[in-house]
Amino acid sequence: MEKEKLESLLIDYIDGNISAADKALVEAELLSNPEAVKLHRQLTEVIGMMNESTAYEPSQKLKSSFDAMLANEKKTSSTKVVFFSPAFYRIAAAVTLLVVGGGLGYFISKYNQQQSELAEAKRLLQETKQEMMAKLDNEHSASQRLLGVTVAIKKIEKADREILGALIKTMNDDPNTNVRVAALEALGKFHQDPMVRRALIDALSTQKDPIVQIALIRILVEMNEKGSLQELEKITNDEEMLKEVKDEAHAGILRLS
């Protein structure tokens, strides 16, 4: 027996609204077909759920619209018969309830999962930030401060204002050249941020260590930061500037122009 026909007969069978001949067909199917037994059990659970809740009754407007549609169908096709038993309405309502409820449950579950993942990401970022800050604040150990910058390079994918501010301060003020260069490299990782780009350009006029100056020029050129051209021109025209730095600035101007 086709599944669609079996479902229809099972609904009427469970509802008690079935002819003797169809009842015999259903019972024979239940005796010989395990799938029919499974479907019968599922439909029984659904109908039972609906019977426990408020019975679904179509509104008078819906009934009137349906009656009009049925009358029209009878006029246009004498062979087409449309019949919905009361059980059909309950099954339709149950299916709608399950589909809507299931869909809503899915989106709620998905939303809760996203919120949980977001909270976890924030927690990890906060822990990483605290680790970085603690090491950068170690005034007595350049190696610890260098490790703090390394945390930013390896563990932080998206930096907030506090993290960027700490790295900029380290680049500008740390007494150790290696730490300043490392901070510069860390800032290069976040070069899309306008705050970082501005800080790197400004550093051209404040950095005095040739190693840091050359590293800074190279990063700005790699960023294709044309906003640094004016400062690079100043470096090439500075008579007190080390030749290697001036040469790097000149090469940078050629690449950016």
29 vs 66: which has the higher pLDDT: 29
Helices (H), 53-85: 60-76
Residue 156: strand, helix, or coil: coil
185 vs 3: which has the higher pLDDT: 185
Residues 234-250 pLDDT 10s: 999 999 999 999 999 99
| pLDDT, average across residues 76-88 | 54
Residue 224 backbone zone (phi > 0: left; psi -120 to 50: alpha; other: beta): left
Q: Are 197 and 225 in contact (CB under 8 A)?
A: yes
- Name the percent of the chain lying above pLDDT 70: 73
Q: State the pLDDT confidence band at 55, using cuts at 50, 70 and 90.
A: very low
Mean pLDDT of all residues belonging to the chain: 81
| pLDDT, average across residues 57-78 | 55
Return the pLDDT at 124: 80
The closest alpha carbon to 223, from 199, 185, 192, 182, belongs to 192
Spell out the residues 6+ positions from residue 14 whose beta carbon is closer than 8 angstroms to its own: 40, 43, 44, 47, 87
Q: Is the pLDDT of residue 30 over 60?
A: yes
Q: State the pLDDT confidence band at 53, using cuts at 50, 70 and 90.
A: very low
**Per-residue b or e along 155-166, where b marks 16 or more CB atoms closer than 10 Å to that residue's CB:** ebeebeeebbeb
Return the pLDDT at 215: 95
| pLDDT, average across residues 190-202 | 95
Q: Is the pLDDT of residue 54 over 50?
A: no
Return the pLDDT at 143: 86
